[in-house]
Amino acid sequence: MKAMVYYGANDIRFEERPKPTIIQPTDAVVRLTKTTICGTDLGIWKGKNPEIAQTAIDKTGSFNGRILGHEGIGIVEEIGEAVTNVKVGDKVIISCVSRCGTCENCQKQLYAHCRNEGGWIMGYMIDGTQAEYVRTPFADTSLYLLPENLNEDVAVLLSDALPTGHEIGVQYGDVKPGDTVVIVGAGPVGMSCLLTAQMYSPSEIIMVDLDDNRLAMAKELGATHILNSGAGDVVQEVMALTGGRGVDCAMEAVGVPATWDICQRVVKEGGHVANVGVHGQGVNFELERLWIKNITITTGLVNANTTGMLLKTCCSGKLPMEKLATHYFKFEEMEKAYDVFKHAAEEKAMKVIIDF
């Protein structure tokens, strides 16, 4: 089969790989029909996760590459003997988080840290979805039947982007009716924070980004204020919008020191900073200034425990996620898709959809 394979920093290749097979009786093999590229995939490509090289060592002791991707939908091709919730021929959404459902962490709904070789492993610790076929561990608890009435472009975003924004941004940020919220980063996950935050009726949602095209989309999707952080002192602007108080919840949705700094400077006393972005380097944490403010700081990897709920909400048409799908490519154009997503601002790209 064809697949997009990571070999190290700035080295990904579209090449032939062996088709996956059932390894455990709880596995399924899925033939992909759509996948996408996540900002995390770009981070891996740029060398943000060098630990991947330690998880794909072949019998000769060499790094054999890792197939990228953790989002997608497809058709079940083969199932292990213990799988009961899905059958061959079912159309499914593949969750980015694989969960056994029985370990100590899974019993706490901390699926991101499943102790039985689960969690976020796909496209990271095991081969992922940017291929014609993928092996999905714990198929019964990690695949969702795809409803016939659900837009398939939206279904792909239910793999990761939408539950990540909802759980790690909105739920961890404890957004409540009447709150003032700032979301720093208007990428697909930041937009997912924006859309799902509105389910909790905040009074204001301020979206911050460097890309005017993405900010315009944020305004269309419900942001009450948009601020370009390259056009002025965004901290001062947020404080002015909030009467000098700051926000109840600041969501960091990029993963770089500058965006973290904005969040820690605009959160008000008793507020929340919800770190959603994946950081590849240290940040300046101003504890000497923040300790007295009684704030809560949360971090996390998505547990995908709200995917089922969000799936129903998307089917109802109350989350216009399809607007995030801006560019479409055939699978054989995978390298071009990466180049477009890497230059998202110039290409006016939000989410690229890869169609098999």
Length of the chain as a residue count:
356
- Return the domain boundaries, the chain: 2-160+304-355, 164-298
How does 203-225 read in b/e, with b if 16+ C-beta sit within 10 Å? ebbbbbbbbebbbebbeebebeb
Residues 6+ apart with CB under 8 A from 54: none
Which DSSP helix (H) or strand (E) runs through 309?
A: helix 307-315
Closest CA to 170 of 157, 181, 159: 181
Please tell me the distance from the alpha carbon of residue 353 to that of residue 356, in angstroms, as a whole number: 10
Please tell me the distance from the alpha carbon of residue 97 to that of residue 99, in angstroms, as a whole number: 6
Phi, psi dihedrals of residue 118, rounded to the nearest 5°: -115, -150
pTM of the entire predicted model: 0.94
Closest CA to 272 of 152, 155, 150, 169: 169
Please tell me the distance from the alpha carbon of residue 33 to that of residue 72, in angstroms, as a whole number: 8
Query: For residue 1, with 0-12 CB atoms within 10 Å meaning exposed, 13-18 middle and 19 or more buried, which class applies?
Result: middle
Work out the number of other CB atoms within 10 angstroms of the CB of residue 53.
16
Per CATH, the number for 164-298 is 3.40.50.720
Beta bridge partners of 20: none
**Going residue by residue through the chain (356 aa), what tens digit of pLDDT does each one get?**
999 999 988 899 999 999 999 999 999 999 999 999 999 999 999 888 878 876 666 666 677 899 999 999 999 999 999 999 999 999 999 999 999 999 999 999 999 999 999 999 999 999 999 999 999 999 999 999 999 999 999 999 999 999 999 999 999 999 999 999 999 999 999 999 999 999 999 999 999 999 999 999 999 999 999 999 999 999 999 999 999 999 999 999 999 999 999 999 999 999 999 999 999 889 999 999 999 999 999 999 999 999 999 999 999 988 999 999 999 999 999 999 999 999 999 999 999 999 99
- Domain 2-160+304-355, CATH 3.90.180.10 — does that match? yes
pLDDT at res. 56: 62
- Cα of first residue to Cα of last residue in the chain, in angstroms, is 12
Cβ-contact 246, 270 below 8 angstroms? no
Structure tokens at 351: 């989410």
pLDDT at res. 49: 81
Work out the number of other CB atoms within 10 angstroms of the CB of residue 97.
27
